[in-house]
Amino acid sequence: MVTTSQPLAVQAGLRVLWQGGNAVDAAIASVAVLGVTEPMSTGIGGDLFALVYPARERRVYALNASGPAPRQISLPELREKGYERMPQDGALSVTVPGALRGWEALLERFGTKPLEELLDPAIRYAEHGFPVLEITSQRWRQHEDKLKRHEAAARTYLPGGRAPQPGEVFRNPPLARTLRAIAHEGVDAFYEGAIARAIVTELERLGSPLSLEDLRAFRPEWGEPISTTYRGVEVLEHPPNGQGLIALLALNILEGFDLSSQGPTAEFYHRVIEALKLAFADGKRYIADPRFAEVPVAKLLSKAYAAERRALIGERALEEGPPGALEGGTVYVTVVDEERNVVSLIESLFMPFGSGIAVEETGIVLQNRGALFSLDPEHPNRLEPGKRPYHTIIPAMALREKEPWLSFGVVGGFMQPQGHVQILCHLLDHGMDPQEAVEAPRVRYYGGRKVAVEPLLLKAIQEELAQRGHELIAGDGNFGGAQLIAIDPETGMLAGASDPRKDGCAMGF
C-alpha cells in the first residue's frame, strides 16, 4: 500500500511494488513525483527525514537528511546588518538541500532498485506534463507574488505569468533535464557537478555564502528514533533537530487524563490545546541540532516530568506555555510492502516554494529552512556555521508489541505534531477508524491563547472553548494533511487513510 497527497505519486509507488521493488524503492519513486506535481511543497532543493522498519531486522531506523547552514555564515554579521530575526525567504534563508543524499542513503542501505529506474515517472511528468489538481492549484495561486520576486522562479513556475488552473497541464522541462542528469550520473551530479555550480552561482549573486564545499561535504545521518508510550502503544518520532519531541511531550501530558470517556468534546479539545501549548514551550526552548547543543530528551520525556506539566492545566486556558525548568509547504509518503517493510518519509521546502529562489535552467526551488534559526546568541537553536536548524518535518510510527501498527505523518509546519496528537487520540481514545481519525475536525494552536478551529467543529464546542479563555481566530486554512497506513496486528491486513484536505489517496493491492 502507498498513501500520499497526489494520485500520480501513489501510482508511481504502486508500480514499483508491482514490479518487485520494496517499500524504500516505492517511497523514493513517489516522493520524486511529488517534487514535480507539488512543487510548492517539496523537491530536490529541500530536506528529508525518514523512519524505516526493515521486517527482517524488527527495528526502526531514523534517517536525518536535513542540511546545515553555510560554513561561512555569521550570526554577528547578520545582527550588524540590522537583522533581528532570520530572513523568512531569499538567499540567506537557504541551507544545504539534503533530500537527494537522503534518497541515496536509503537506497544504499535498504533499496533494491536503481535510482535511474525510480526517477523515470518523475522525469516523464516533468517533461510531458501532468494535470494540476484543485488543492495544488489553489496553493500555487496563493504564492504567485513570492515567485514573481525572482525571475527564474517566475519563468519556470508561472507560465503565462500566473499559476496553473485546475486541470491545466504543467510542464517543467528544466527539471526533467536535471532529474535525467541525476538519474544517469548519480546524486553527485547535484552536489559536486554543474548543478552544484549553478546553485552556488545563483546564491552568491543574491548574497548567500553557501559554497561548493558546503554542498560537497554534506552527508545524512542515521540514528535511533525517540519514543514514549501512550495507552499501551509505543509512539516513535524522529529525534531532534526535528520537532517530533513536541508530539511525544503532549501525549505524555494527555495520558494522565481520561479522554476516552469524553469523546471529541470541548473538554477534549481544551486538554489537547493546553498540552500542546506546554509541549511547544519546551520544544521551542530546547530543540536544536544535538551536535551543537544538548537536547535533554530523556528528562523531557520522563513520566514524572509529564506529571509536573500536567498539573499546570486547569479549566481555563493558560496565557502562555512556560518552558519547564530542567536540570542540567511539505509532503509525506508512507509505504508498506508485501514483506511488511515499512517506510514513513517526509520531505519539504519548508514554506511554500521555500526561499522563492529557482536556480536558472534547472527547475530547482531552494528551501528556506534557515528561517527557523534564532539570532539570539544565547539560544540553543542560534545560527552557527555548519549547524542544522530546528526542523518542522516529522515522520512517525506506532508499534504494538514491538510490531508496526501505524505509519503516519501530517504536513503543515507547526501543525505537524498537533496533527499527530489529535489523530492518535481519535484512534486510541475515541475508537475511530483510520479515515475517521484523519477527517475529524482539528484545532491548531498558534501561541498565547490563540487557537484556530476548523469550521466543521461543532458551534457549541467552539463557544465553550471561547468561554474557557481560548481566543478563537481565523486560521490560514492550514490544518495539515495526514496520510497513514494501519496494519492489523492479527490479520496483517492494511488500512490506508488519506486526508481530504489534500489531493491524494491511499491505494494498495
For strand 364-365 and strand 233-237, is the pairing parallel, antiparallel, or unpaired? unpaired
| Count of other CB atoms within 10 angstroms of residue 258 | 8
Instruction: Report d(CA 42, CA 48) in Å as an integer.
Output: 9
When computed from its CA atoms, the radius of gyration of the chain, rounded to whole angstroms, is 22
DSSP 494-508: EEEEE-TTSS-EEE-
User: What cell was used for 362?
Assistant: 534547472
**Side chain identity at 363, as an amino acid letter?**
G
For strand 450-453 and strand 471-473, is the pairing parallel, antiparallel, or unpaired? parallel
CA 367 → CA 48, 100, 273, 351, distances in Å? 11, 13, 30, 8
CA-based nearest residue to 391, from 421, 370, 360, 422: 370
Element (H, E) at 15: helix 7-18
| SS3 (DSSP) at 422 | helix
Instruction: Report d(CA 182, CA 32) in Å as an integer.
Output: 12
Instruction: Report d(CA 176, CA 166) in Å as an integer.
Output: 22
| SS3 (DSSP) at 343 | strand
Query: Taken in order 140, 142, 146, 150, is the CA torsion positive or negative?
Result: positive
Q: Is 330 a catalytic residue?
A: yes
List 3, 42, 156, 330, catalytic entry: 330
Active site residues: 330
